Structure 1
């Protein structure tokens, strides 16, 4: 029994390392996603889906740590009740991470049109003296992705009526930025911004899917631990 108990502990310690890896991986991906969201929050302010997804990911990571703590106590002491709590928590954690995986893939496929409407609506607010943050956000996006407008420079016609463009729509800061300028960036900003956002969501989905699969050996460990606990009680 002593050998079985030692082997079980080694397997569980390896599983703990996986949980810690998931926790820090989720924390990194979540901070990365929320950092991108808040960087462009004044263009994406109409959508809180990424914010909710980040909160969901944090909840899943914290739940995993709590479950791991119960498992550590239960396996160290071979306590039947604690192992039962660990098993229940592990199953709940598995469902939560499955939900996180599904939510990530669903968000990726469903939010694109909503984001496009939201970003388009902010163009008319570019020159609002009370909303300088929107102008700064547009300039940041157009400089970061080397682009202009949502789909292209023509998007700014609704504000400037083909007379001019924001200076960030041109590659040169030494000339007036007009639609006829040779320095105009012709690529729209929506696609590169969404590709960047989706790459973060892809990573989160991959991390949560991998950890969902890793719950299977965790459940097996809980099963063998409960058997050892019953034998120890006899």
Structure 2
């Protein structure tokens, strides 16, 4: 009777654990896909570094791994199989290390990638008027309209191709013809900072979810420990 009660209680705890894991899975997957979509949208401007793309892919891998491990643990605890529970514990530890790596990578990405992204943005300006590279033009117009900005660090960045004579139309707040540096409608803020702030906010969200997920592996290991003890008693 006591064994049956302990087994039922353990299952209830594990079912609650799985529900939380599902929440983390969908949360991580959503943020990872959002990060990848954002990065791909502006890949023409940020092509100099693919770390954010790798980070998004790594996050999706970590989320899927955790879900697979949780399913595997569910089978072990449901059957009270000692070997399956031990394998589940090892897989859970591996999952915890993967999520720890994701957390560290997310927090360390912010400063290391800024210079590469700035160089990438600045270098694509010369391609803006290239006849067969419409993607670069569209990306610049999109970012300048979205963030109400002009150039990587400011309107003067466009001097390299326009020699202070004009600016892209998306650099002005009004749709009048001929956007010029002397116009009162020019957007004087650069696009690099707002773009990076948006990108980094997504990375920070992923890091926070991953950190919480890493910590939550501890009760999962505790459940596996008690399940293993119960399986041993059941085998006697």
TM-score by shorter chain over 0.5: yes
Aligned length in residues: 234
Could you tell me which residue of structure 2 aligns to residue 4 of structure 1? 6
Deviations 1:35-64 (A, max 9, x none): 110111111112110110011001101110
Alignment of 1:143-154 (within 5 A): 143-154=145-156
Counterpart of 1:87 in structure 2 is 89
Q: Deviation above 3 Å: which 4+ runs of structure 1?
A: none
Match of 2:111 in 1: 109
Pairs within 5 Å for 1:148-227: 148-227=150-229
Q: Is the 8 A contact 2:25 2:64 kept in 1?
A: yes
Once residues 40 and 56 of structure 1 are traced to their aligned partners in structure 2, the CA distance between those partners, rounded to angstroms, is 20
TM-score relative to the length of structure 2: 0.98
Give me the CA root mean square deviation.
0.6
Q: How does 1:28-47 map to 2 (within 5 A)?
A: 28-47=30-49
Contact in 1 for aligned 2:28/2:206 (Cα 8 Å)? yes
- Is 1:20 matched up with 2:22? yes
What is the TM-score with the length of structure 1 in the denominator?
0.99
Deviations 1:177-203 (A, max 9, x none): 000011100000000000000000000
Contiguous gaps of at least 5 residues in structure 2: none
- Select which of 120, 125, 128 maps to 2:127: 125
SS in 2 for 1:47: coil
Q: Deviations over 1:19-45 (max 9, x none)?
A: 100110011101110111011111111
Would the aligned equivalents of 2:48 and 2:119 in 1 still touch at CA under 8 Å? no
Match of 2:78 among 66, 76, 79: 76
